[in-house]
Amino acid sequence: MYIAQVAPLYESVPPKYYGGTERVVSYLTEELVRQGHEVTLFASGDSITSARLISPCEQSLRLSRQCQDCMAHHVLMLEQVFKNVDQFDIVHFHIDYIHFPTLRRLKVAHISTLHGRLDIADLQGLYREFSDMPVVSISDNQRKPLPWVNWQGTVYHGLPEDLYTLREEHGKYLAFLGRISPEKRLDRAIQIAKRVGMELKVAAKLDPVNLDYFNNIIKPLLKEPLVEYIGEIGEREKNDFLGNAYALLFPIDWPEPFGLVMIESMACGTPVIAYRLGSVPEIIDHGLTGFLVNGIGEAAEAVKQVTTLSRRRCRQIFEERFSARRLAKDYLKLYQRMISERKISEQKEKIKIEQAGSAFGLDNSDGDWSADSHGADRAERVKVLRRGFGREDSGRR
């Protein structure tokens, strides 16, 4: 199968540091290539992939000092996609909704995975207008704000099974890994660590938009003797950071669409103590891969119960539910369905055009509506016919 993967440009694929969407795109792309599919990846030029790489920019935009307008690079990437669209059986987008208007005007099988939160009022009108776009959720909970959207399925994220190493011994510290932002609630993690008297190691990304929050709320808390702030870490460091931890704390305060760090922790055998919000109950098996809690007190009690969990069983559940092989398998099923539906749609459209052509007194038996002895009058009728069915100059070349 010839597949295009279209990634955001903010991070490389895979990211050098933080970046959930781009990381998942990388895992999916590499697994599809491993299975023998021809994959083209549209991503930043510093991406590393075994697929064919097409890039509108040399470097990921978050790390680029020259980038002032991120949207310009994404629009350029879309033009690159649409110039090459005839080469693909299907195009898989991971860039939210910027491509929706153009896709309505192209005859190509496509699907879009929505990686972000959808409980935003600004999105209501947009997704009502584009309710025909075939989209994929990364958890069932993510769908709740937009139930009318053309959902094709839910595909949970997955990781390569050899990416993280099982550590069967319980570590000595609690871990927090992610972003420093109000919805991630690092302050709660610090309170939990203080309540149980256990060291908390914090490996977290800080975006400029959250600098005031960090300075006013979080920075004073980092002075606690039990807290060690490491900063942002990459893939290689995460294996040791998570694997050597006693448990991962995930005390979120928002409807997290997935939470990749939870399955990264499970892959190391490290249990997760997480607030029961968003997708969390779909990912964590309470009493097996961690504990679901509703407050600081419950989280503190859960910390005391972590040694009752089997780290080996935690890893086994990861392999059963969240591997890259399963990720690719689920998407390939959706790809096949979208390609089949596209072919059926094209066949129905062809029949409609032929029926309408007959009403115009035209003959398409040779598969070509071009004018012949009927002259310019027939040619003009053909142009009107094609415009009526959106077939004249589709813009695919």
Instruction: Evaluate if residue 392 carries a pLDDT over 50.
Output: no
Instruction: Please give the pLDDT value at position 394.
Output: 42
Four-CA torsion 8, 9, 15, 20, nearest 10 degrees: -30
Higher per-residue confidence, 111 vs 358:
111
Residue type, 335: Y
Q: Whole-model pTM?
A: 0.86
Q: Report whether 314 contacts 288 (CB < 8 A).
A: yes
Instruction: Evaluate if residue 305 carries a pLDDT over 60.
Output: yes
Query: CB-based contacts of 316: which residues, under 8 Å, 6+ apart?
Result: none
Instruction: Please give the pLDDT value at position 66.
Output: 82
pLDDT tens per residue across span 153-167: 999 999 999 999 999
Number of H helices, E strands in the chain: 13, 13
Q: What is the rounded distance in angstroms from the CA atom of residue 62 to the CA atom of residue 36?
A: 32
The arithmetic mean of pLDDT across residues 17-29, rounded, is 90
Domain ranges across the chain: 1-160+323-383, 174-321
Instruction: Please give the pLDDT value at position 145.
Output: 97
The arithmetic mean of pLDDT across residues 6-23, rounded, is 90
What is the pLDDT confidence band of residue 371, given thresholds at 50, 70 and 90?
very low
The arithmetic mean of pLDDT across residues 6-27, rounded, is 91
Q: Report whether 43 contacts 22 (CB < 8 A).
A: yes
Q: What is the rounded distance in angstroms from the CA atom of residue 115 to the CA atom of residue 133?
A: 15
What is the pLDDT confidence band of residue 329, given thresholds at 50, 70 and 90?
very high
Instruction: Please give the pLDDT value at position 387.
Output: 58
Locate the DSSP E strands across 157-252. Answer: 174-179, 200-205, 227-229, 247-250
Q: What is the CATH code for 1-160+323-383?
A: 3.40.50.2000
Instruction: Please give the pLDDT value at position 43.
Output: 97
Instruction: Please give the pLDDT value at position 386.
Output: 56
What is the pLDDT confidence band of residue 281, given thresholds at 50, 70 and 90?
very high
Nearest to 185 by CA among 296, 314, 308, 33: 296
The arithmetic mean of pLDDT across residues 7-32, rounded, is 92
Instruction: Please give the pLDDT value at position 379.
Output: 57
pLDDT tens per residue across span 42-63: 999 999 999 999 999 999 988 7
Instruction: Evaluate if residue 125 carries a pLDDT over 70.
Output: yes
Instruction: Please give the pLDDT value at position 235.
Output: 80
Q: What is the mean pLDDT of the chain?
A: 90
Higher per-residue confidence, 319 vs 106:
319
Q: Is the C-alpha dihedral spanning 36, 39, 43, 47 positive or negative?
A: positive
Instruction: Please give the pLDDT value at position 192.
Output: 98
What is the pLDDT confidence band of residue 391, given thresholds at 50, 70 and 90?
very low
pLDDT tens per residue across span 225-276: 999 999 989 888 999 999 999 999 999 999 999 999 999 999 999 999 999 9
For the 174-321 domain, the top CATH level (class) is alpha beta
Peptide bond into 14 cis (omega under 30): yes
Q: What is the rounded distance in angstroms from the CA atom of residue 112 to the CA atom of residue 89?
A: 15
Percentage of the chain exceeding pLDDT 70: 89
Structure tokens that stand for 148 in this block: 């009318």
Domains 1-160+323-383 and 174-321 are alike in CATH topology: yes
Element (H, E) at 301: helix 296-305
What is the pLDDT confidence band of residue 342, given thresholds at 50, 70 and 90?
confident
CA gyration radius, the chain: 25
pLDDT tens per residue across span 68-105: 898 999 999 999 999 999 999 999 999 999 999 999 88
